[in-house]
Amino acid sequence: MSIESKKTVFFKLLESAPLLLLFVSVLNEFDFNYLNYKYFSFNFPFILIYYWSLKRSESLGYGFIFIAGLFNDVVIGFPIGLSGLTYLIICGFAAYLRNITLHPNLVNDWLFFLFTILVATSINYFLLIIIFKVDVNYYDLTGNIFFTFLLYYIFSFIFEFYYNKVFKRKKND
Amino acid sequence: MATSRDDFVIAIRSAFIKKGNKQRFSLIGLILFSIFLIFLSRINFYAINYLKSGLNEVVYRISFIVSLPEKQISNSIIAINNHLNLYDEYNETKEELKILKGKNYNLNYLKSENDRLRRLIDEYIINSDELVAKVLLDKDSPFLKSLIVNKGSKDNLKIGMAVLDGPYLIGKIVEVNYATSRALLISDLNSKIPVILEPGDIQSIMSGTGKNFGKIQHFETEYNFSEKKLVYTSGAGGVFKSGIPIGEYIDNDKIKFFSDLSQLTFVKLVSFEKDEN
């Protein structure tokens, strides 16, 4: 394999990193629960899907997001289709924000993220509680939403750095 | 006003209905398909159960592999904590062992006497089939306390079997696939188990809280607990046999489990049957 084609494969891999991270996060469900901090947990797929749908929607792809949702349902034992629906609603909100924004601003994105996860989580747990009669601890749920919202700000800097390094560089090349 | 509403409608239409740039599927199409799947799940549609079972088999295995690094980190944190608490735990264990040794002398005698008396009053003796299973995934999410084990219908596993950690009850099987199964832990909010508090012969229902302790849902009468109470399965409802230890009653209707549900590697899967002899 020539150096040029090796480089191409490497850049393809870097471009697919958000998608790989999405699948790893739904399969692994990493939320640092094992630290056993009271009420501390966050939903990493929400942050990832929202950020990349906003900045570069083709990085994830709606079809893959839907499949990731199916995987998440299986891993955490939700009814099939529920996480997929939640993830796609987040994509929809992100796409809407992208359409109406001329000058992207992190604080606006961040606040709209709060609104998005409130709506998406409400729909998710409304279906779970009303239709599937599952009990939910509302304190944990509130903690999860709160920390997901807070951590978006931190993760957006990390993702921004990655976006600039990988995708903008590619454009310049 | 009308223009801003038009803008809103255009943005919504563009976000949800139009197939996006380099997207193979339209968002609204996939959302409708998700709703359709949820509806089929609700009515327990035959094909959905097959789809779910097939997905379970594949996803559990992949998830087990993907979870290995995180599991390693969490095990390391637990190992460090264990080392830090080693000396205190050693002293506690030494004291406990002394007490248990004393109790153990009487146990075998009491067990055989109990069996003899039960036969005398024609009460059935319970036989149990045991399977040891490895924990593939330990999903300690805030919303669902469950674990996936590497035994399924090919090992004659059935829904409702008790899951034990040593002698202690930790959950029951709620979903059986061909080679894997899901057990709902007793700490899950949706877990409800008929229990008995001893000494005192107090019947009640224990429910999970989503945390590392259980909660007594109600007592039929008011009790004043002046002495230490242990919680066992009561056997009511016929799901589990009576007398499987679960935990210790502490204040405010809380139950501290005997087993540490966050550190399960192997579990016993047990079904109980009446001995006709």
Q: Residue B11: inside a domain, yes or no?
A: no
Can you tell me the distance from the alpha carbon of A18 to that of A42, in angstroms, rounded to the nearest whole number? 18
Closest of A145, A152, A100 to residue A124, by C-alpha: A145
Q: Residue B207: inside a domain, yes or no?
A: yes
pLDDT digits (tens, 9 = 90+) for B15-63: 777 666 666 778 888 889 899 888 888 887 778 878 888 888 888 888 8
pLDDT value of residue A151: 92
Instruction: Examine the domain organization and report whether B94 and B177 are in the same domain.
Output: no
Inform me whether the C-beta atom of residue B7 falls under 8 Å from chain A C-beta atoms: yes
To 5 degrees, how large is the angle CA B33–CA A47–CA A139? 90
Inform me whether the C-beta atom of residue B60 falls under 8 Å from chain A C-beta atoms: yes
Give this prediction's pTM. Answer: 0.72
Nearest by CB to residue B34, choosing from A31, A71, A81, is A81
Q: Which residues in chain A touch residue B180, judged by CB atoms under 8 angstroms apart?
A: none
Range of the structural domain that residue B49 is part of: 27-66
Q: Residue B140: inside a domain, yes or no?
A: yes
Q: Residue A85: inside a domain, yes or no?
A: yes
Q: Residue A22: inside a domain, yes or no?
A: no
Give the number of C-alpha atoms closer than 13 A to the C-alpha of residue A116, restricted to the C-beta side: 29
Give B123's pLDDT tier (boundaries 50, 70, 90).
Answer: low
Can you tell me the distance from the alpha carbon of B156 to that of B194, in angstroms, rounded to the nearest whole number? 25
Distance of residue A91 Cα from the nearest chain B Cα, in angstroms: 8
CB pairs under 8 A between A and B: 157
pLDDT value of residue B60: 83
Can you tell me the distance from the alpha carbon of A146 to that of A114, in angstroms, rounded to the nearest whole number? 8
Distance of residue B233 Cα from the nearest chain A Cα, in angstroms: 22
Q: Could you give the number of structural domains in chain B?
A: 3
Q: Residue B14: inside a domain, yes or no?
A: no
Give B11's pLDDT tier (boundaries 50, 70, 90).
Answer: confident
* A62·B66 Cβ contact <8 A: no
- Burial of B8-26, coded b for 16+ CB within 10 Å and e otherwise, reads eeebeeebbeeebeebebe
Measured in residues, chain A has a length of: 173
CB B184 within 8 A of CB B214: no
Inform me whether the C-beta atom of residue B23 falls under 8 Å from chain A C-beta atoms: yes
Q: Residue B18: inside a domain, yes or no?
A: no
Distance of residue B3 Cα from the nearest chain A Cα, in angstroms: 13
Q: Residue B216: inside a domain, yes or no?
A: yes
Q: Residue A21: inside a domain, yes or no?
A: no
Distance of residue A136 Cα from the nearest chain B Cα, in angstroms: 6
pLDDT digits (tens, 9 = 90+) for A76-108: 888 888 899 999 999 999 988 888 888 888 888
pLDDT at A34 over 60: no
| A145 → chain B, closest CA residue | B142
Average pLDDT over residues B253-264: 82
Instruction: Examine the domain organization and report whether B169 and B141 are in the same domain.
Output: yes
pLDDT value of residue A7: 72
pLDDT value of residue A85: 92
Average pLDDT over residues B159-165: 87
**Sign of the alpha-carbon dihedral angle for B129, B131, B137, B142:** positive
Instruction: Examine the domain organization and report whether B52 and B114 are in the same domain.
Output: no
Kind plus residue range of the DSSP H or E element containing B254: strand B254-257
- Burial of B113-128, coded b for 16+ CB within 10 Å and e otherwise, reads eeeeeeeeeeeeeeee
Range of the structural domain that residue A108 is part of: 42-172
Instruction: Examine the domain organization and report whether B268 and B170 are in the same domain.
Output: yes
